[in-house]
Structure 1
Amino acid sequence: MAPTWILITVLTVLLSPVFGIKWLAISNLKSTFEEPTDCPKTAQEQTLVGFVQPQVELCKRIIDLMPFMRAAADETIAACEDTFKQHRWNCSSIKLAPNFEADLTKGTKEQAFVYALSAAAVVHQVARACAKGMLEYCKCGAGATLIVDEEAANELPKMNSGNQFHWQGCSDNIEYGMSASQEWADAPWKGRRSSRQVGGIVDDFINDLAESANEVKEKEKTVVGNDVEINTAERKRMLINQQNNDVGREAVASSQLRKCKCHGVSSSCHVKTCWNALSPLSDIAKRLKTRYLNAQQVHPSKLHILDPSQKTPLIPTPPPTDLVFLKPSSDYCDRTVHRECNSTNPAALNSCTNLCCDRGHSTTVTKTSEQCHCKYVHCCYVKCKKCIFHVERSYCN
């Protein structure tokens, strides 16, 4: 029988809240995701891409979704870096997935932002894939309408006669996107089986260790049947991650825009098709950044966890629209060494004063040449001069 300390170590690794975003390493698996056999097959591959077991199972069950999960990961990384490119914390550590550093493992507001953005990216990718007909089992979302004003009412049959015109709006299927995001992004603490309170995170071998788990102190861990429940503190961390994922999904849902296309004589717009489309993820990231700036720090003791036998979702004290975090962030000054900064505008976020944390900065001057003063000669010849420019760049000490 495995010693208790080994069991605790295994559970700590498996149940770590950071598992919620380790899947952002999905591109580490060089796979086309065309067949279920393309999913992680070994524990080493599973670790490489940061999948938990329910995500591996989802991969095998609905392989068609996986290219969009990969796209969601890539989109998350790009949007995060672009959103914070002028800040001390510039999201560069997100590329270290699945081996994150403290900024994305210790319950900071940066971690809260990445959770929200990654959950939102899954909704975004899947919802749009449905609307584009890229997934056979999901179609257009609700909300597409045909609008005809009274003046054009008599024209409509004439327009459609002989099937000369066939207009149909197709809304992004946010409902299916939400469902996919909940199953994928929340898998580390919810799994696929609703009968478990925090099931799905632990591999099947845990059943063999259940007897040893009984030896662990009650305050650390409890065992119910064959399912291992994590300690209260860990559950509260997962509760926070759940809220941040939900905030990300809500930001996507509230980003829907009504788009319309005109039909009819000379595009008079007497007849038009309208549908609901999601905003670009870059815009959603900006919305989430506002929530990041107003994120609420919470203490685990202020989070309420219901009795495990109840099926009611776990509900935190903070408003459900707020990003929440456990620990304050560092000043991230150690991450700005050699970062390029703005020496001309002291009020800018990326100013040398702000980025360099009063360490000072150095300036280099480089000489570049570019074509300039170009002009057309006769009909089809362009003649340019060569200009020399001196470019100053400043870097934090």
Structure 2
Amino acid sequence: MLPPPYFTAGLVFLGYKQAGAWSLAVGHQHSSPSSPPVLCSSVPGLVPKQLRFCRNFAEVMPSVAHGLSMAIQECKHQFRGRRWNCTTLSHTLAIFGPVLDKATREAAFVHALASAGIAFAVTRACADGSATICGCDMRRRAPAGEGWKWGGCSEDAEFGNMVSREFADARENRPDARSAMNRHNNEAGRISVSQLMYLRCKCHGLSGSCELKTCWFSQPDFRLISDHMKDRYDSASEMAVEKHRESRGWVETLRPRYAFFKPPTDTDLVYYESSPNFCEANRETGSFGTQGRQCNVTSHGIDGCELLCCGRGHSSRTEWRNEKCHCIFHWCCYVSCQECARIYNVHTCK
């Protein structure tokens, strides 16, 4: 195991178990973009191709870990009010437990967001100088517009996508349906990052007159990317598995289950197995159930007490909480606050 401070955000990678798909796996090591070089041979669970990549691109491995840590946090945010709330486990490589072993839309979302997270973090590290083996994208220069010119550091999404593709897809080389699904969803996540890049500008001129702007291509905030992937989750395409023989043997591919639906595009998420209902705790599926979860008594959505509690009903209680209030800024430079007691109604699933 690597001693601190080699990995401070948690190294996460995509993989397979002997009998099926791994969810995400995380080592007990930690990393950050400013960490010392990674000792690749000490990182548990890497397949040979990932190990070679780690050795060849050790400088970007902390960014890989950081991107996947971001993806896990965004998963928790996006599913915070749903029956499956992206619960993670500690002290295990498969941090989501068995939940993502099946080829469900949850697995599709996590793989896509994780691959997007790698691409995003590596691209950002290249632009801010944290990684010296890459830099700005000098190729993405179209004719400048009226009142602005190219400048700054356009982020090199192509390099970030390459790192994500080489690392996250390293395990997806089997001729089976799950590998095909993971490859598709991984690429969907990466494409979304590239498509959401925008022209960011800085004004120049006297008194903020913005007589001239310097512009460059930038990635959006990662929250916008996770919002986009959550929309893709909600509209994910159900597929069917087809098995046919090729020169290398039997190969499984995916096709749309329903011919009257529009076929998925490269940016759509795909899955081919139904999700558990996540209402009750189940060790086999990895479901923690929803008993004891807080629900929104006024909502008619999935976070509402009726749906989140799966019709079992809910309990209500009153809580007193001490909070800072009546805060005043004093020149210069501190803030003083009073402490107020407030009453909250808390509703939890039976």
Q: Give TM class, smaller chain.
A: 0.7 to 0.9
Instruction: Give the match's secondary structure for 2:26.
Output: helix
**What amino acid maps onto 2:190 in structure 1?**
R
- Which one of 12, 17, 21 corresponds to residue 18 of structure 1? 21
Cα deviation digits, residues 80-130 of structure 1 (max 9, x gap): 000111111111147664254332111111000000000000110111111
Residue 353 (structure 1) aligned with residue 306 (structure 2): yes
How far apart, CA to CA, are the structure 1 residues paired with 2:342 and 2:196?
44
- Which one of 190, 194, 217 corresponds to residue 276 of structure 1? 217
Aligned to 1:326: 272
Cα deviation digits, residues 123-167 of structure 1 (max 9, x gap): 1011111111222121102435784748x9xxx9xxxxxxxxxx9
How far apart, CA to CA, are the structure 2 residues paired with 1:69 and 1:128?
11
Instruction: Give the match's secondary structure for 1:392.
Output: strand
Cα deviation digits, residues 288-316 of structure 1 (max 9, x gap): 11111111121212x7786549xxxx974
Aligned to 2:140: 143
**Inter-CA distance 380–57: structure 2 relative to 1 (3 Å threshold):** closer
Percent identity, please.
32
Give the TM-score normalised by the residue count of structure 2.
Answer: 0.78
**What amino acid maps onto 2:303 in structure 1?**
N
Shift of 1:271: 2.8
- Which one of 2, 15, 36 corresponds to residue 34 of structure 1? 36
**Inter-CA distance 101–273: structure 2 relative to 1 (3 Å threshold):** same
How far apart, CA to CA, are the structure 2 residues paired with 1:184 and 1:84?
26
CA contact (8 A) 1:342 1:394 kept: yes
How far apart, CA to CA, are the structure 2 residues paired with 1:78 and 1:89?
14
The correspondence of residues 62-211 of structure 1 with structure 2, limited to 5 A, is 62-93=57-88, 97-98=93-94, 100-141=96-137, 142-143=139-140, 147=144, 149=146, 168-190=151-173, 198=174
CA contact (8 A) 1:144 1:276 kept: no
Greater relative contact order structure (CA < 8 Å, 6+ sep): 1
The correspondence of residues 231-250 of structure 1 with structure 2, limited to 5 A, is 235-250=176-191
CA contact (8 A) 1:305 1:315 kept: no
Count of residues paired in the alignment = 314
CA contact (8 A) 1:76 1:117 kept: yes
Instruction: Give the match's secondary structure for 2:171.
Output: helix
CA contact (8 A) 1:236 1:305 kept: no
Aligned to 2:10: none
Instruction: Give the match's secondary structure for 1:341.
Output: coil
Shift of 1:382: 9.6
Structure 2: unaligned runs, 5 residues or longer: 1-14, 256-262, 281-288
Shift of 1:367: 2.3
How far apart, CA to CA, are the structure 2 residues paired with 1:72 and 1:383?
37
**Inter-CA distance 15–280: structure 2 relative to 1 (3 Å threshold):** farther
The correspondence of residues 370-385 of structure 1 with structure 2, limited to 5 A, is 370=323
The correspondence of residues 300-319 of structure 1 with structure 2, limited to 5 A, is 300-301=241-242, 307-308=247-248, 316-317=254-255, 318-319=263-264
Give the TM-score normalised by the residue count of structure 1.
Answer: 0.69
Aligned to 2:286: none
The correspondence of residues 248-259 of structure 1 with structure 2, limited to 5 A, is 248-259=189-200
Instruction: Give the match's secondary structure for 1:92.
Output: coil
Cα RMSD after superposing both structures: 3.5
Moved more, 320-329 or 105-114: 320-329
**Inter-CA distance 249–304: structure 2 relative to 1 (3 Å threshold):** farther
The correspondence of residues 254-269 of structure 1 with structure 2, limited to 5 A, is 254-269=195-210
Q: Which has the higher strand share?
A: 2
